[in-house]
Structure 1
Amino acid sequence: MAPYEFRPNQVFDPKKHILDVIAMQYLEQATSDVHHLVPADVIADGNFLYHSIVLLMNNSAVTWSELRVRTVIELITNATYYSNTYSHCVGPFDIAIQAMCRKSTFSELYEITALCNILKCNIRSIYPKIDLRDHTAIVNNTFMPLPPTVANCEITILWSHTLNESEVRIKNNSTWSPNHFVPLMSRLIQHERDNNNQLASVLATPEKKTFKNNVAIQIRIPEFQSSPSRRLRSVINIDTDSSQSIMSDIMLHDQNDKEEQRQIRLEKKKQLVRSSRLNATEDERQNRLDANKRRTQSSRKNGTEEERQNRLDANKRRTQSIRKNATEEERQNRLEQQRKRSQANREKKKNEKRMSDNISIQQQTTQMQSAGAKEVTLQDGINISHSTSNANILPKIRNATSSWPEPISRDLKEGCLKKFLHRMSMSALAETTCAVCNIRSPMQKSKSVPV
């Protein structure tokens, strides 16, 4: 493969590049001599180091995959040097090579040193002063290509992370380690135009053509120059107008930069929110939903009638629009969900009705227990108290109502049938005529008197 002619573009242009807001926070925790640089945003897909080099390159034909392949070839070619020099702080060389052959794998010090030879340039590695360990002193260094290669330029790379330090510590058990690289570029310096040059006016005396004795004669018309004070005022006015236009251009550019930075910050916040929601646990998700629910309830409770009507109208329009643009499959899914929801509501109402019936039955049985023991005289002359009958019947009723619905026990059915047959027998229903009042009355309540 042909070697690269690496001429990096190290000036941050707001029209071409995007500021990495999170990396800016890590840059403030690095050494002070790089605080004037600007971290440029690169794609966060695991190939951060190679995307950083591609961003600095002026050659649009070079891709990150080609840089990764060249890096692996360079490391294998000089495997002995890289293994002896950096394996004590990075790790086993063979394992690193195997990981490097897979795309979207985070790069380490091996790749940085190999890129020095590939690009023929010095690479300054900047590591933030966070959780400093033994190998960070080696990482915070400037790496050069192997002799006899001579570097023709120098670039700066920052070890960073896609999340804030606090979020990283929450997810990594209070420890921080980088998972991102960004290039550091110098700020764009705008050269102001110099409008203080003196005005040089070419004064030509006008001439007038006339005729005298039928001969054309040129007559010179004198023209007086303006006074020095007038010339000074005109120069001052020109300079003032020029400075005002420059200031307006600068202010307009600053406003555009602020708006662009604001949009970048909002996009970063959106990415952080999406990332935190994807990596959140079930408890965190439930807490977030509960907080949103309480906030919505509070806002609806404190809202006016007009706000409530506007909200309902907006929801209605949104629902109509969604249903209008929905496909047939989405419509069928919505109807199926409605059927399931209606069935669940019906089951809930049935359960509530059963519970209320059970409560009413229990209340009735309690009243029956407190009614007292009243004796009932049967035909065979046996006195049975209500308390005894309740004691036999109530457990059966209680067992029957506690686990409703349940088949009626055979003993209960036989007892009820015996009582029915006894109460409906001919002896129990027999009547006689009273000899005194001539009224028919039950024979059980009548009394025979011998004459």
Structure 2
Amino acid sequence: MHALRCSLCSNTDSQISNYLCDECNDLGRYEFFQHFLIKLQYNKNFHTFQRICQTIYPALVKFPFNFKPIQYFDPQVHQLDIISQQYVALCEDTEGETKYFSNNEQQLIALDVKGDGNCLYHCITLLGEMANHYTVELRVQNIIELAMNADAYLQFFKLYDTNLKAYIVRSMLYDRRWAEPWDLFGLCTVLNCNIRSVFPSLNTFTNIHPSAPPQKVMNKTFKPRQNIATNTILIMWWRGISPEDWILYSTEDIWAPNHYVPLIKPRVSLHLILLILIVNEYLLNLVLEYDIFDILYNESMF
């Protein structure tokens, strides 16, 4: 009889069961998911990859996850993304869905998110008020969800793409890799949350890159694979250049998104938020100016 091999630290997939050795069982949350992500990177065969995900899945109960997204912009906590905010004006509602852009409410606020390849996962940690290291866990949880249920996703989203299995083993398993629509589809189930994918309407001033998801296809709400979710978050696709600068200065012929940002509701008008930010910056500069003046004054006394 073969001894059981740990599903996390074993370097082979033979005789692996949903068993963790004592050392792996004692790993902290971040270390556990970081170790598993590295383990996955050594397996390029999808069926082996899928089997490894199936064996580790029972261990996820050790790390309960409850996503409760924030609803409103807080100028004391969040940072407005000035450039991406310009794209919000180009966003449109989808027929038959909740109105976000054509109602009489205040314009949604685009939050600033770090653009390091993990921007989609940073959107989630920001909305969930989670530590930055959760980006690794979210990626791993999403990989497991998509790998274990690949056939179901391919069947349901066959009109969007058919490269899921190749995408998982060639790109998604590496940290800080640009997320594709598959990441959005899987995250709905991982978070048990609807995701309203927001794709600006840009056809009026530029051509869309052929590799970019079509605006009509990606400008809609995606839902968990099985459960009915009560929360909905909004994630907008955009590019790190304003629409105006793209028209005036870009040497490229076609526009393609390269970043994600979350959109949330303001408690007050966007104009008031901008005023608050301007005043805060002015006061900060004033404090710095007086601090420097005091230093110079004190030094002149000696």
TM-score (norm 2): 0.59
Question: Which residue number in structure 1 is paired with residue 256 of structure 2?
Answer: 177
Which residue does the alignment assign to 1:123? 195
Superposition pairs for residues 155-166 of structure 1, below 5 Å? 155-165=233-243
Displacement of 1:4: 1.9
Alpha-carbon spacing, 1:28–1:256, altered in 2? closer, same or farther (3 Å): closer
Write the distance in 2 (CA, Å) between the matches of 1:121 and 1:78: 18
Q: Note closer, same or farther for the CA distance 1:168–1:142 as it changes in structure 2 (3 Å cut).
A: same
Distance 1:254 1:113 in 2: 33
1:262 deviates by 8.2
TM alignment of 1:264-283, pairs within 5 A = none
- What is the deviation of 1:173? 3.1
- The counterpart of 1:257, out of the listed 268, 277, 280, is 277
Structure 2 segments unaligned to the other structure (5+ residues): 1-59, 94-98, 102-106, 284-302
Report how far residue 95 of structure 1 moved: 2.7
Task: Label 1:108 to 1:61 Cα distance change in 2 as closer, same or farther (>3 A).
Answer: closer
Aligned-partner Cα distance in 2 for 1:128–1:255: 26
Q: Secondary structure at the match of 1:185?
A: strand
Higher Cα Rg, which structure: 1
Counterpart position of 1:104: 176
Matched, 1:9 2:70: yes
Match of 1:400 in 2: none
**Offset at residue 174 of structure 1 (A):** 1.2
Alpha-carbon RMSD across the aligned residues, in angstroms, is: 2.8
Amino acid at match of 2:240: T
Instruction: Check if 1:42 corresponds to 2:62.
Output: no
Which residue does 1:215 correspond to in 2? none
Equivalent in the alignment of 1:20: 81
Distance 1:43 1:61, change over 3 A: closer
Alignment correspondent of 2:186: 114
Q: Which amino acid aligns with 2:163?
A: P
CA pair 144-260 structure 1, distance change in 2 beyond 3 A: same
Deviation at 1:29, TM superposition (A): 0.6
Q: How does 1:58-73 map onto structure 2 within 5 Å?
A: 58-60=129-131, 63-73=134-144
Amino acid at match of 2:279: E
Return the alpha-carbon distance in structure 2 between the equivalents of residues 189 and 104 of structure 1.
Answer: 34
Give the match's secondary structure for 2:266.
Answer: coil
Cα distance in structure 1, aligned partners of 2:282 and 2:221:
34
- 1-structure distance, mates of 2:132, 2:122: 13
Residues 103, 127 of structure 1: CA spacing in aligned structure 2 closer, same or farther, 3 A cutoff? same
Structure 1's unaligned 5+ residue stretches are 191-250, 264-451
How far apart are the structure 1 equivalents of 2:282 and 2:258?
25
Task: Show CA shifts across 1:33-66 (max 9, x none).
Answer: 4342100001011111100000011344861111
Instruction: Confirm or deny: 8 A CA contact 1:48 1:182 kept in the other structure.
Output: yes
Q: Is 1:86 the counterpart of 2:162 in the alignment?
A: no
Task: Tell me how many residue pairs correspond in the alignment.
Answer: 201
Deviation, structure 1 residue 92: 1.3
* Corresponding position of 1:144: 223
The alignment partner of 1:114 has SS state of: helix
Contact 1:87 1:93 in 2 (8 A): no
Q: Partners of 1:72 and 1:182 in 2: how far apart?
A: 21
Q: By how many angstroms is 1:122 displaced?
A: 0.7
Q: Distance in 2 between matches of 1:254 and 1:71?
A: 36
2-structure distance, mates of 1:156, 1:81: 24
The one-letter amino acid of 1:48's match is C
1:242 corresponding residue in structure 2: none
Structure-to-structure mapping, 1:227-242, within 5 angstroms: none
For residues 103 and 61 of structure 1, the distance between their equivalents in structure 2, rounded to whole angstroms, comes to: 13
CA distance in 2, matches of 1:258, 1:59: 27
| 2:259 partner amino acid | H
CA shift for structure 1 position 121: 0.9
Partner Cα distance (1:40, 1:261) in 2: 17
Alignment of 1:18-417 (within 5 A): 18-31=79-92, 33-35=99-101, 36-60=107-131, 63-97=134-168, 98-131=170-203, 135-147=214-226, 149-165=227-243, 173-189=252-268, 256-260=276-280
More helix by share: 1
Contact 2:147–2:165 (CA under 8 A) maintained in structure 1? no
Q: Which has the higher contact order (CA 8 A, sep 6+)?
A: 2
4+ long deviations beyond 4 Å: 166-172, 260-263
Alignment-mate amino acid for residue 77 of structure 1: M
